Amino acid sequence: MSDAATKDQAGPSASDGAGSYEAGSKEAGSRETDSNGTKPGLAGLTREARSRYSRHLLLPEVGPEGQRRLMDAKVLIVGAGGLGSPVALYLAAAGVGTVGLIDPDLVEASDLQRQIIHKTSGVGRAKVDSAGEAVKDLNPLVEVRTHRLRLDSSNAMGIVAGYDVVADCSDNYPARYLVGDVCRLSGKPDVYASVHQFEGQAAVFSPGGPCYRCLYPTPPEPGLLPSCGEAGVMGVLPGILGTVQAAEVVKIILGAPRTLAGRLLTVDAWLMTFLEIELERDPGCPLCGDRPTVDRPADYELFCRQEAASPGETMTPEELLRRLDSGERPQIVDLRDPHERLLMPVPGSMGVSFAKLRAAMPELDPGRDLVLICGLGSRSLFAARLLKKAGHPGRVLSLAGGARALAAARGDAESPY
């Protein structure tokens, strides 16, 4: 797949000054005169650019010089989904010269609830192509580079090297650790955000300050935090956090004196509260500490994932259906929350939320096979191992693929998954 979707930038080409943007440098448009004592003019801005970016030009903190810096900048957006949508659109509108989009996935109908850069007509298309087309439609002066692949330890350093700033709009822990490590090793700002149900957070990890590993030294236990596909997310929430990311990227490029570097912004959209937490560099951090040990990208899937299921730990949905059809009655425990179970009931199952499973152990029948079900299969595998460690004497199985796979095996077209 080609890394460059379009090469027809109508505005100035992006500079090669990767890593030249640092929070705390002098505001780009704050100078009243240049080094020769004359007022900077509109040189380098075409008539179309002057018209399109006129509201930026009126801001003393931006002005012509700041706009030229935006037009010279190259920004990589990791993930063309809920967070990546507003980031890409607002950076394009702001006139960022080169916008890179990296995402391996295709647009699905369920994405449209929050991924506003995509359209119904784009379902089934590559996300980077759909998003790239929207960016070019919004601002033809922007160069769009698309990378339809998964960012990993084998390609990340090379891809990130071509950009000045990285916006981490990914939706999983391996990608966040990868982006954080590669940005720090490359000396590039990492503009981070994440969302979960009604809550989100954002921060800037700049060279010299705390990094992502300072915030999360170790990944959470797999299965403890359900994914967006399991837990859901308020559609507007990625728009709020993605807009914060876009603002921080613009500020970094302009040299704003204060960004979210060293601060974590947390958002609760249900209560509509915004809180700020100070972040400090951890002297013992393996990436940015006093004696760093991380000097290259690692295997982040291995770093973050739980041990793969071994034979005898899982049951396929097809096998479960066959056993039920033959009259067998394994004890089925649905670990999803009550509202999830209402959306897609599993007949004959016992509903026990994940958090209450240990308390429900006396109700589990050791004489029958125990089959645990969650949304996608990760929580149930984690729970099965917890039960065995807690001393459950019977056979414990996790339903592979969870309720989503069970719905597919039953031919359930109304499944919310």
Point out the residues that are catalytic: 228, 374
Q: Which residue bears the tokens 């190259």?
A: 74
Burial of residue 32 (number of CB atoms within 10 Å: 0-12, 13-18, 19+): exposed
Single-letter amino acid, residue 372: L
Task: Tell me how far apart the alpha carbons of residues 321 and 72 are, in angstroms, rounded to a whole number.
Answer: 58
Q: Which residue bears the tokens 């506003």?
A: 116
Task: Tell me how far apart the alpha carbons of residues 275 and 84 are, in angstroms, rounded to a whole number.
Answer: 23
Task: Tell me how far apart the alpha carbons of residues 114 and 112 are, in angstroms, rounded to a whole number.
Answer: 5
Task: Tell me how far apart the alpha carbons of residues 246 and 82 are, in angstroms, rounded to a whole number.
Answer: 13
- Sorted by sequence, the CB contacts under 8 Å of residue 243 that are 6+ apart come out as 86, 90
Nearest to 148 by CA among 128, 125, 177: 128
Q: Which residue bears the tokens 């095996």?
A: 409
Which of helix, strand or coil describes residue 61?
A: coil
Single-letter amino acid, residue 231: A
8 Å CB contact between 283 and 211: no
Single-letter amino acid, residue 71: M
